[in-house]
Chain A
Amino acid sequence: MIETRKPKLELLSTEFIERIIDEGLTLLERHGVLVENAEAVSLFAGAGAVVDGASGLVRIGRKLVLDSLATTPSVITLYDRTGSRAYTVGGDEVHFDPGSAAVTLLDHATQEERKASTADLVAFIKLVETLEHLHFQSTGLIAYDVPAPVADCFRLYAGLCLSGKPFVTGTFRVEGFRPMKDLLAAVRGGESELRSKPLAIFDACPSPPLKWSHLTSQSLIDAARAGIPSELISMGMTGATSLTTIAGTLVQHVAENLSGLVICQLAGPGAPVIFGGSPSSFDMRKGTTPMGAIETMMIDAAYAQIGKHLKLPTHAYMALSDAKVNDPQAGFETALGAVLAALAGVNVVSGPGMLDFESSQSLEKLVIDDGICAMVYRLLDGIAQRDDPVALGAFEGFTPGMSFLTHPHTRRWYRTEHIPAGLVDRDPYEAWVAAGRTSIVDKAHLDVARRLAAYATPPLAAEVRKDLDRIMAAYARSSGVDVLPSTEF
């Protein structure tokens, strides 16, 4: 049998990749990066980086970066809540998770964005639990009725109570890390168990150009010490906070991400790190950051290629749209991004469900996008040689007028070779009219309700749930928060 080729997109030549990395390293060596965290600065100083007291810039020699790369694992294995299902984050494996930390939800009834409540967050987590092509959850919605000091932790708490999938999450304040780690360790049954079977990825975003804030540096340090994977989210905006050229932005991307990677390795050698990002092609008319722009996706696919060259797991914010409702733009930007991300072999693709420059989520879109992801996985499976010979065997006894519909070969292969249509419309015109001219959005809305009704909480041991409740309550108390939204979920 001929080996199936895995389709692959590579936008950069090896020569170009090496040039970009080299300039990124030179940038760190010559100009440095601003680190606003005393502990991180002292880690750098201890490792021989040059810290400029006046400017706060840390100049990082390339040997330190290369040494740090050498101790960073090239593959991370995440495990679901039961610890039995493993997900490889590395190589060309592709996992989708909902675009995270939306501040609004698109309300299907009114077609308006509105603030999301805890009830919305719960529905969101439950829905994602039922979507088989979204391998990971993300703490995707910020609920307005959760007091701000505990907002980061509460999302993960609700998620762990309701879902068995691994999580992509992150802290909003330094104090949030500890209880979030405790929640994860409680599920695993201890910190060393969590270290050997990571359950969540923590996002940390440098501030372009070339700055790591106090909060994000601390998140890198804390996660590295706990063995929790950090996802580095460099996010230059072309022509605004990074160079306007795609290649120029890539140089800065490399420098920002690699300086974060060094922080992780200094805090905990061998710490898992993902080379990710959320850069964008800055819109020079509106002053906005379109995630659906083709140039944004080109930057993403290219830095993912660079990440692979550096033998690192990769991430990108792709498969999302800047449309405000589930219109054609929402569909084509999401699908284009999902396909390109998959072909580029991005390991963690954060995007499904997301609209409006990463600020809004839609339950209907999540369902539609799950269907896009299904198509993408089919594409990635490639074209296989199922039979040998390829076709001649099935043509034995050929007669004109022979029907393939009833041929045993069809029954043997059609479910493997072709995926179901899902919500996509494939009705003949008359049938479509007779069925009420329903759009995919209407069908998705019904599907959301059906899925939420069918949702069953994946079993969680009563004592674990009690631990989660206790950790959440203690954190709320220590943060001066008296009342939390109902946790009867």
Chain B
Amino acid sequence: MTKNEIYPKMNEAIVAGDRGAARALAEDAVRSGLDLLEVVEQGYVPGIQKVGELWERGEYFLPELISSAEAMKAAMAVLDPALNRQNLGARIGGKVVIGTIEGDIHDIGKNLVASMLQAGGFEVFDLGADVKLERFIDKAEEVGAGMICLSALLTTTMMNQRRFIALLRDRGLRDKYKVLVGGAPANRKWAEEIGADGYAENAVAAVKLAKSFAGRP
């Protein structure tokens, strides 16, 4: 298939949340020796952008959103190793450490954000739920992440988001990371109050915010 034939199909596979097709098309692209960075940017990324639009318009719901994110992951699982062999990283969004904060075991929302960030081209290190504050920092230091995302569902555990910023400051690392907060009780005002860099109300908004920090469209 030529680029002009295959890119719309990739786009479609992502919008339809078709994991099998997304993977097969990626394999096809590798076999055909296409420019894989272009494949990502022109074949797959427009698909996931379209999904974001459909979500914001209220046409897509979580099942579609997550299926598309999974399809994107399936394609990238094929493309990433090939790109690495060429010493080209497609994860231009950078590295993100994410988790549900200490004391809180609710991870549905966090999982959505992690999936969408991954689909949006970020390399995501998901620490799971009930994550100790220090672990976020240790992981970010270890992998060289640029962003740390903290989720909390409870008003009680939300306080740990504030503690986290303080801890970052104490360790002299506050300016090294962008800190994004989310979760049911959080809001923009809260993010400002505790000195976080941003707040997102849902997974699609989180990707937009993360991209703006990464200086991407």
Residues of A within 8 A of B (CB): 103-104, 113-115, 144, 239-240, 284-285, 287-288, 359
Contact = CB atoms under 8 A, between A and B. Distances in A.
A115 B158 CA distance: 13
B62 A144 contact: no
B155 A287 contact: no
B156 interface: yes
Contact of B62 (A103, A114, A287, A359): A287
B154 A285 contact: no
Contacts of A115: 155-156
Interface string B37-63: 000000000000000000000100111
A287 B108 contact: yes
Interface residues of B, number: 11
16 contacts: A103-B154, A103-B156, A113-B155, A114-B155, A115-B155, A115-B156, A144-B156, A284-B61, A284-B63, A285-B58, A285-B61, A285-B62, A287-B62, A287-B109, A288-B184, A359-B154
B187 to A, nearest CB: 13
Nearest to A282: B62
Interface in B134-157: 154-156
Contacts of A359: 154
A172 to B, nearest CB: 13
B157 to A, nearest CB: 10
Nearest to B55: A285
Nearest to B108: A287
B108 to A, nearest CB: 5
Nearest to B203: A287
Given A240-B108, A287-B109, A104 B155 contact: yes
Interface of B: 58, 61-63, 108-109, 112, 154-156, 184
Contact of A284 (B62, B155, B156, B184): B62
Given A144-B156, A284-B62, A287-B62, 7 more contacts: A104-B155, A115-B155, A239-B63, A285-B58, A285-B61, A287-B112, A359-B154
B152 to A, nearest CB: 13
A240 B63 CA distance: 9
B70 to A, nearest CB: 15
Contacts of B62: 284-285, 287
A50 B14 CA distance: 42
Contacts of B58: 285
Contacts of A285: 58, 61-62
Contacts of B154: 103, 359
B149 to A, nearest CB: 16
Contacts of A103: 154, 156
A284 B62 CA distance: 5
A424 B62 CA distance: 40
Return the 7 tightest CB-CB contacts between A and B, nearest first. A284-B61, A284-B62, A287-B108, A287-B109, A285-B61, A287-B62, A284-B63
Nearest to A283: B62
A288 B155 CA distance: 16
Contacts of B108: 240, 287
A114 B184 CA distance: 15
Nearest to B201: A286
A359 B156 CA distance: 12
A284 B64 CA distance: 9
Q: Which of A114, A239, A285, A287 has the most CB of B within 10 A?
A: A287
Nearest to A115: B156
A279 to B, nearest CB: 16
Nearest to B156: A115
A174 to B, nearest CB: 18
Contacts of A288: 184
Contacts of B112: 287
A290 to B, nearest CB: 13
Contacts of A284: 61-63
Nearest to B65: A284
Contacts of B109: 287
A407 to B, nearest CB: 57
A287 B62 CA distance: 8
